[in-house]
Amino acid sequence: MKDRMYQGAFTSMRTTGGTRRSVWSEGERISLTSAQLQHSLLQRTASLYPRRLSALQLFDRAAKASWWNPRFDSKVLEEQFRQSSFTQTEQHFRYALLYVILSALVYALSACTVGRDTWPQVSAACLVLALLSFSFLMLTLFRNAIYRRNASILAMSTLWLVAGFSLAPFALPPSPMEVEENHSVAVGSFSICLSVLVLSYTLVGPLPLYMICIFGVLYSTAFEIMSWFVLNHVNTWTILAVRILLQLSIHILGIKIRLLAETSMRNTFYKVGQSLLVRRELELEKHLKEKMIHSVMPPSVAQWLMKNTAEDGDEQQNTANSVPMHPIQAADRPLHQLPQPRSSNQLTFRPFNMHRMQNVSILFADIVGFTSMSSNKTAHQLVGLLNDLFGRFDFLCQKNGCEKISTLGDCYYCVSGCPEPRPDHAKCCVEMGLAMITAIREFDEDSGESVNMRVGIHTGTVLCGIVGTKRFKFDVWSNDVKYANRMESTGRPGKVHVSEVTHELLLDQYHFDEVPQNGEKDKKERKTYFIRHRKITGGRHSWPRFQAPMLARIGPQLSVDAAAESHPSQPMSGSSDPSDNSHAALNTRKASCPPLSEEANSDENDEDWIGEEVVFHPTLAQPLPWHHQANNQIGNQYDLHNPIVGDAPPLGAGGPIVIPGQPRRHSSLSTLYSRKDSGVVTARSSIQLESTAVEINVDRRGRTSTSTGRSSGVSSIRGYSIFGEDPALSFRQQIRKQSDLQMIRCIQQDCADAELFVHPPVHKLSLFFKDNFIERGYRDRLLGRELYPTLASPTFTVYLCTAVALIFYFVSLVTCFMLFPTPNAVFLSFCFVASFAHIAVAMVCLREILAMRGNWQANDCFTATFRYLMKWTPLHVVGLFLLCVPILAVFSNFACDSFFNNWQASDGFCLLSFAFLLHFTNFSQVKFWLRSLFATVAGLALVMFVGGVFCDSSRCTEISRRSYLCRNSDNIIWDILVHIILTSILVWLLNREFETSLRLSFHGGWLASQDQKRMQVLKRQADWLLHNIIPRHVVEQLKTTSRYSENHREAGILFASIVNFHELYDESYEGGRECLRVLNELVGDFDELLSKPQFRNVTKIKTIGATFMAASGLNPKLRRENPHPFTHLFELIDFALAMHKVIEDFNLNLLEFKFILRIGYAHGDITAGVIGTTKLYYDIWGDAVNTASRMDSYGMPNRIQVPEHCLPVLSEMYTFKARGSMYIKGKDHMNVYLLESKKGKQLHKIPFKRQQTIPAQL
């Protein structure tokens, strides 16, 4: 019959699914976009490092006046950068040596082929140069240590060596045959000169820019002087002026390339370093998140929750956009953003996690004598004692392999074998119970109290999981849980009371005393037993004592070396939470920067940091670190196999103990849990400590600075002390220095990141990123704007490349007018079009720069034009056009007549062509193969022009016999072809390396950006989880104080019970799982009410079986903002009325169910607090809580019952009917009333003069 009822009910739910709502409310969502996040981080950065846009920096943290020697403003950063980037510098040097070897061999072969008189000397010099370069190359490959020590010397030696050999031909005496070919020698030597200059600026060694500039100026001067005197037959003042202009252009191009390379590499280094620091904070967040999750649920349950959260959010996003979402896009959204209300065509049920597990042992433990102990204690004393005791129990729970479920007043219950099965579950619970009894005895000795523990254990089957959507916690349900609770209530103080099932599992390990049974009714009950003793006697524990707030001492403990010695937490087994998914994108680098959350000298930590990679070993029985003195002795001094020495005398009546034959008043599942109340103050737990640490780290990360201090272990990094503070440095400089040291430590430990400074994850041939999403981001990188741009910013590199292109275009115009005094119509037309295009591009860039500086308000037209030009395809079109304009200007001046009659024109034509071929190394934003291909085509066109393909050589005159076209010499053509080939190879090499460096820089910045986003996502996720454990305003207070307890006056309390739930609960149908699914749906509907603004003062406390507990007036800030002093009380009554409406709608949807709701209400003075150490628990205590509970227990179905003392306040807005005087357990006789209806009276603002909250004096 019940099977048909359940099936019919859920069928009705599916058919009316449109009325079901999602598990997660809109109020829990946090919508912080990436743009807002970035703006927030940049604002905090600006607060620490103020910068004016009028003073453009080369890169982040660049030293002042470092344009001619780019370097960091920190010596330690600069030193570490040189070490980290040395591999890339070494690789560039090897490329330069390979090019020099290739060029020398080609020139030697060319000299032999041409057969000039000086070919032996030229060939020998080239071979010597090749041999020396090869020796340097072998030194870098096989004697790397020597090269590292002498890198600058070898680089400068190579430059002067190449320069000397390139000038050597001028020292050879010219022969009569070579005088006719001096023109080709002049052009060829000039091509070599330009190649040497470009090599010196781009690929040769770790030399400062100013030193390379000095070398370049000296080399250019020496070349022009020697060329002028040696090749005086072909030199004129015009040719000299043209060559000087071309050399200046190449110098400008080289300086631009070198400057961008230096700034890009340093920018990449800094971003990667920041990324590693962020990763460390990610580990902190992960560590904190897992501990917070474990505070309310086991890892396996948390895994389901987070997986369901992420998948549901992605599904909704994909459905809305009809485009699959990339994992990184998912990381851009808050991963804790949980499912929103579903539409009618979606699934009708909320996510539900409930598992039926067999062979689970359940332990209930109650403090005997708690009432008498609390009667003569102040709130401060009582909560201190409670927190000390529960802190011991939390430690024992993890030590003995148990999973704490909750605390209900002074009742503590846990399970073993759930949610992860284990064969020794019964023994774990018994050891836990025995350890609790021993612990409370030691507690009595320490505190001078006389309390004891009554422990009951039963083994059976449970349903474990989560019910509800707010303030949820992991819980267990079943009839066996009910029986375990009865085992505790019928036990004896100082004894562990076990059921017959548990007894049979432990026959060989303990001695038992059977509980005598009296009477025929008792004989019908199952046998129960007391555990008598174990075999080995043990010693006394050393229990932890809690120290001052972590916030007060977090600064001096966070240090570089503490990071190396601290340990991350154990993650959830097989976790599929979003942090793991997002971390997959970071696996190109192994995590190796440890978090700073734990003490470095803790011996009890079994959460080890393994080498270069984070290795996790999940376990349920894992002790967590304690932040206290001498805590590392706990595990050593406490033996789990200690015996119970004698029988403790009971604190109550002694006689035979039997399970009462008369059942309790309630048989529903909700009655398994007693409601016991007391004022509570909590010591700062490890989770709270780490929450503080994370908050500080996130704040430091936002300012790109972290504060560190004293640590153990290595005390310095390469001579820079991390202990003492230099009095000459300001506080801000001290913070910056310590932040730099932390970054250096992370980089030094992460060996895998060395590859990031050399090889980005790109395809070898095309240099496209292997990840298509990263490739799209790279192509769109110029569309974004930075709040504080630097020279290394993508947009500024475009400005700089455009400026160099304008210089080259201007030089091409001037030199063409100098060499070709009578320009043709083609050249003039080309100049008009090209000039207009250059002016337009320059205007757009200039307006953007002025708008960025704030000196000019950019209008929509220019802004739209600039953004369009920054797109991938338009940028390539414009960039290629600007690259080609100079050499096209030269080609447009080609005319056969002028070349036949003017040798200066033919020489100048070649000089300009070789210089402008190197201009194709500009605009590294354009694909390298496109630029190189255009350069190769231009080189082939030059060969065709010089070879006379387009002219008739019969038109040569005697005057122009020295012209290339009229000499018709194969040797000259060969010389030009060799130089063009080598120049093209150099262009291909440089373009590929420049694009690799650019993509390398982007990838480093992209990783840092994604790590930042993930860090913020995890932070918000951790906040969301924490706020489901503890209210937001309590969390904020816990950040500044070590304990939290607050007394609230006139707070409202509500208990709402589904009185007939026990009638529906039947384990014969799927073990009761589907019944709990119904409960989950109903509690979820109750939870959704809390998201409505009219109930903002209402806070859910917890669910106890089928009872819903809520309160109002617990947030002092909201109470001060209320228009009436009792607004929160009225909201709580309205919330109760809304619950009745919800259950009516719920019953309409579930045709087979007719739930009956009973609500009890009271208001008065209460104490709210957070209790626990590794298991945080927020609750409220006080007489008003007990009264509200009794109002529910003694209430009427479908009614709201209140005590008489609440009428003076509530009668202002509601009408009540007297029920009369009735006996209430623990309260004697009370006059109670039933709510009839709500008045139509409007609430007016009335000044509230009564004190609302009194912070506990701790």
The yes-or-no verdict on residue 753 having pLDDT over 60 is: no
Helix boundaries (H) for 854-927: 860-869, 872-891, 896-901, 903-917
Give the least confident one: 960-974, 1129-1143, 1195-1209. Answer: 960-974
Gap between the Cα atoms of 1032 and 1052, Å rounded: 19
Mean pLDDT, rounded, for 565-594: 37
Confidence (pLDDT) at 182: 66
Q: pLDDT tens digits, residue range 1147-1167?
A: 888 767 789 999 999 999 988
pLDDT at 1170: 81
Q: Give residue-wise pLDDT tens across range 1208-1226.
A: 999 989 999 999 999 988 7
pLDDT in tens, 1038-1052: 766 666 788 899 999
Which CATH topology does 1030-1255 take? Alpha-Beta Plaits (3.30.70)
> How far apart are alpha carbons 32 and 68 in whole angstroms?
41
pLDDT tens sequence across 922-959? 988 899 999 999 999 999 998 888 776 667 655 555 44
Say what the pLDDT of residue 323 is. 34
Query: Maximum CA pair distance of the chain?
Result: 141
What is the residue extent of each domain of the chain? 1-29+298-347, 353-544+637-652, 1030-1255
Stretch 1237-1250: mean pLDDT: 62
Mean pLDDT for the stretch of residues 803-818: 93
Give the count of beta carbons closer than 10 Å to the beta carbon of residue 539.
Answer: 9
Give the residue-averaged pLDDT of 251-277.
85
pLDDT tens sequence across 187-220: 888 999 999 999 999 888 788 888 999 999 999 9
Q: Which range, 6-15, 163-172, 405-414, is most confident?
A: 405-414
> Residue 837's Cα: distance from chain center in Å?
45
Q: Specify the pLDDT at position 457.
A: 96
- In sequence order, the 6+-apart residues with CB closer than 8 A to the CB of 1194 are 1160, 1201, 1222, 1224, 1232
Task: For residues 920 and 933, give the distance between their C-alpha atoms in angstroms, rounded to a whole number.
Answer: 10
Average pLDDT, the chain: 73
- Mean pLDDT across the stretch 632-646? 35
Stated length of the chain? 1258
Residue 27 neighbours by CB distance under 10 Å: 12
pLDDT band for position 566 (cuts 50, 70, 90):
very low
Instruction: Give residue 1193's pLDDT.
Output: 93
Evaluate if residue 124 carries a pLDDT over 80: yes
1176 and 1030 in contact (C-beta within 8 Å)?
yes
Q: Would you say the pTM of this structure is higher than 0.85?
A: no
* Mean pLDDT score, 703-724: 36
- Highest mean pLDDT: which range of 562-566, 1070-1074, 1252-1256: 1070-1074
Q: What is the pLDDT of residues 388-445, one digit of tens each?
A: 888 889 889 989 999 888 887 788 999 999 888 999 999 999 999 999 999 999 988 8
The arithmetic mean of pLDDT across residues 476-494, rounded, is 91
Q: How far apart are CA 773 and CA 626, in angstroms?
A: 43
Query: Do the domains 353-544+637-652 and 1030-1255 sit in the same CATH topology, yes or no?
Result: yes
The crossing angle, in degrees rounded to 10, of helices 903-917 and 970-1029 is 20
- Name residue 591's amino acid: A
pLDDT at 321 over 50: no
Q: What is the pLDDT of residue 945?
A: 84
Q: Which of 609-623, 713-727, 747-761, 1025-1039 has the lowest mean pLDDT?
A: 609-623
Measuring CA to CA, which residue among 1031, 1044, 1032, 1051 is closest to residue 1256? 1044
- Whether the pLDDT of residue 593 is over 50: the answer is no
Over residues 54-72, the pLDDT tens digits come to 456 777 777 776 777 788 8
In a 10 Å sphere around its CB, with 0-12 CB exposed, 13-18 middle and 19+ buried, how is residue 666 labelled?
Answer: middle
Among the ranges 341-355, 657-671, 1193-1207, which has the highest mean pLDDT value? Answer: 1193-1207
Q: How far is CA 298 from CA 294, 1036, 1175, in A?
A: 5, 25, 11
pLDDT of residue 1012: 72
Of 154-158, 584-588, 1101-1105, the range with the lowest mean pLDDT is 584-588
With a cut of 90, say whether residue 966 has pLDDT above it: no
Above 50 in pLDDT, residue 899?
yes
**Lowest mean pLDDT across 303-312, 334-343, 540-549, 1074-1083:** 334-343
Residue 1177 CB coordination number (10 Å): 22
Residue 111: CA count within 13 A, CB half-sphere: 20
In tens, the pLDDT along 507-550 reads: 888 989 988 876 555 555 788 999 988 765 444 445 454 433 33
Does the structure show a pLDDT above 80 at 1011? no
Residue 1203, helix vs strand vs coil? strand
Confidence (pLDDT) at 305: 65
Mean pLDDT of 754-760: 61
CB contact at 8 A, 87 and 95 = no
- Residues 340, 1181: Cα–Cα separation, whole Å: 34
Share of the chain above pLDDT 70, in %: 66
- Using DSSP's 3-state secondary structure scheme, residue 960 falls into coil
Cβ contacts of 200 within 8 Å, gap of 6 or more: 159, 212, 215, 216, 219, 254
pLDDT: is 783 or 360 the higher one?
Answer: 360
Q: What is the pLDDT of residue 1175?
A: 73
3-state secondary structure of 556: helix
Distance from C-alpha of 407 to C-alpha of 282, rounded to nearest angstrom:
31
More confident site: 638 or 861: 861
Indicate the CATH number of 353-544+637-652 among 3.30.360.10, 3.30.70.1230, 3.30.1330.10, 2.60.40.10. 3.30.70.1230
Strands (E), 500-637: 511-514, 528-533
In sequence order, which residues have a C-beta less than 8 Å from that of residue 83 and are 6 or more positions away?
none
| Position 592 pLDDT exceeds 70 | no
448: its two tokens: 């001078």
* 691: pLDDT strictly greater than 50: no
pLDDT greater than 90 at residue 334: no
Does position 587 have pLDDT exceeding 60, yes or no?
no
Most confident stretch, 146-150, 587-591, 723-727: 146-150
What's the average model confidence in pLDDT over 961-987? 75
Cβ burial of 858 (10 Å; 0-12, 13-18, 19+) is: middle
